Amino acid sequence: MANLVTNVAAAVEEHGGTTAIGFRGEETSYDEFWAQTGAFATALDERGIGEDDRIALYLPNVPPFLIAFHGTLRAGGVVVPMNPQYKSREISHLLGDSEARVVVTLSDLVPFVTAVQDETSVEHVVSIDGEAEGATTFEAFLERGAPDIVDRAGDDVAVQPYTSGTTGQPKGVQLTHENLASNATAAAKLVPDGIRPDDKQLGVLPLFHIYGMTVTMNAALFNGAAYYPMAEWDAQDAVSLVEREELTVFHGVPAMYNDVINQPNADEFDFSSVRLCGVGGSGIPTEVLRQFEDRYEPKVYEGYGLTETSPITHFNSPIDGRRVGSIGKTVPGVDSKVVDDEFEDVSPVEEGPVDEDETDLTEITGEIVVSGPNVMKGYYGLPEANEEAFTEAAGTTWFHTGDVGYHDEDGFFYVVDREKHMIVTGGYNVYPREVEELLFEHEAVADAAVAGIPDDRRGETVKAFVVPTPDADVTADELREYCLTNLAEYKHPREIEFVEELPRTTTGKVQKFKLREREETAEAETN
């Protein structure tokens, strides 16, 4: 049986009485957790929901996410994770495209679901934290039962997260049981001796994001370790949890590490229980890494991956070595190479990282492509996107990451540029077109362009350049509030600059590189 949840069942069999989940001072054993997933799976079955049906989890990192996630898999369903920061505008496409029949969410988020429910296939809305109009409470939804695990094939879809393409249109990523099982296994092996039953994993990376789902939650639960979710990031709370529970594995995005070292009492923090710190989502600034390691015992190991690759493809590790500035070597079972525009291999440099100011990057870089059991089955219902995403060469199917980089003779890879226009802010991906289209809907906006600008904490932040209509009477604060009302908080432009016109090519395309160059020049002049 290839069902992903059989890995949890095996952990239950061996470690039933030990802690599976620790949340806000309460612990849930593996036996208790397994019974809860059975109640959720039974609830789905009694409502006629089963194999291949989509269940949307519109939740932060709370125990019901884990219960519904594994209960859905136990019933043979497909999990559709959704960012709880999203509003109706953003979830409407995800629910409509996935044809999800059930949404599990917070009572405060129920109105966002019911506002678009008639346009979707949603039959049941479940509130995990109390009553809400149009929803059933979690307790009332659950049904007693201990059902068998529904058999699934390795290439059956288990989870369907959504990722935005360069057009900004969210695409359903079909991740199979084999994809996720292989990557959770690879993630566990990054830690010396693997993830062990006595390990305690911090769960602050969002579970709607594949990094948190695979590398923290699944890697822990598949190996009998304890998983400690946090509903939201707070540096003081996270460190207190590490110290109090003596957590042993800490994965985060660069902004989290930056927050830790910038706390007023940072020198007092104790990370002595942690045996591995991992970082991904975007490149960690070398200075942030250095300051963290100067203060605390564990080293920080950087990795790389995408939603489409379940996610990790490369990682520095205590086992295979670390090279600061690189994304590491490929993880077990994954192949990767750098190719040019003709899909010819680009030769490695002798040793990286190179001095990018002294090196002709065009001679050593190309697109990073990957192949392996972790690579998605394909985008849901998008044959043209799938054709663009994959290349067959010499009997191997390669996935195009869209990221430019190089590699060295020791097997380390280096990313020098993200996708052309994508903004990576605090580990989240923001595609400018989505923000631009919203701005264009505002009556006071005649033209707009959105770009990423340097930010010490987040790596990049979102900035909008707006050409107002001739008679417009609007402020930057009003436009920011407008965006916050309609988009997740991390997507809204933290900076808005009014301009007379946008730089464009003769064919009318906005020259965003000129906007970024202007920002860099202005920053240099102020320093």
**Highest-confidence segment of 186-190, 470-474, 521-525:** 186-190
In a domain, 121, yes or no: no
Which domain, by its residues, includes 445? 423-526
Cα–chain-centroid distance for residue 427?
8
Per-residue pLDDT for 508 more than 80?
no
What is the distance between the alpha carbons of residues 228 and 41, in angstroms, rounded to a whole number? 23
In a domain, 432, yes or no: yes
Range scoring the smallest mean pLDDT among 30-34, 281-285, 489-493: 281-285
What is the distance between the alpha carbons of residues 268 and 263, in angstroms, rounded to a whole number? 10
The pLDDT assigned to 287 comes to 83
19-35: b (≥16 Cβ within 10 Å) or e: bbbbbeeeebbbeebbb
Domain count, the chain: 1
pLDDT band at 104 (very low <50, low <70, confident <90, very high): very high
In a domain, 507, yes or no: yes
What is the distance between the alpha carbons of residues 37 and 45, in angstroms, rounded to a whole number? 12
Cis peptide before 311, with omega less than 30 degrees from 0? yes
- Kindly tell me the sign of the dihedral angle through the C-alpha atoms of 84, 89, 94, 99: positive
Per-residue pLDDT for 396 more than 80?
yes
In a domain, 455, yes or no: yes
In a domain, 202, yes or no: no
Q: What is the mean pLDDT of residues 205-219?
A: 96
The pLDDT assigned to 521 comes to 77
The pLDDT assigned to 507 comes to 45
Residue at 180: amino acid letter: L
174-194: b (≥16 Cβ within 10 Å) or e: bbbbbbbbbbbbbbbbbbeee
Average pLDDT, the chain: 93
Q: Is 412 left (phi over 0), alpha (psi -120 to 50) or beta?
A: beta
Which CATH number goes with the domain that contains 452? 3.30.300.30
Per-residue pLDDT for 457 more than 80?
yes
In a domain, 429, yes or no: yes
Per-residue pLDDT for 431 more than 80?
no
Write the pLDDT tens digit of every residue in 279-337: 998 778 888 899 999 999 999 999 999 999 999 999 999 999 999 999 999 999 999 99
In a domain, 485, yes or no: yes
The pLDDT assigned to 505 comes to 56
- Kindly tell me the sign of the dihedral angle through the C-alpha atoms of 446, 447, 451, 455: negative
What is the distance between the alpha carbons of residues 203 and 250, in angstroms, rounded to a whole number? 8
pLDDT band at 357 (very low <50, low <70, confident <90, very high): low
The pLDDT assigned to 454 comes to 86
The pLDDT assigned to 506 comes to 43
Per-residue pLDDT for 471 more than 90?
no
The pLDDT assigned to 420 comes to 62
In a domain, 138, yes or no: no
Write the pLDDT tens digit of every residue in 135-181: 999 999 999 999 999 999 999 999 999 985 434 578 999 999 999 99
Range scoring the smallest mean pLDDT among 147-156, 401-410, 425-434: 425-434
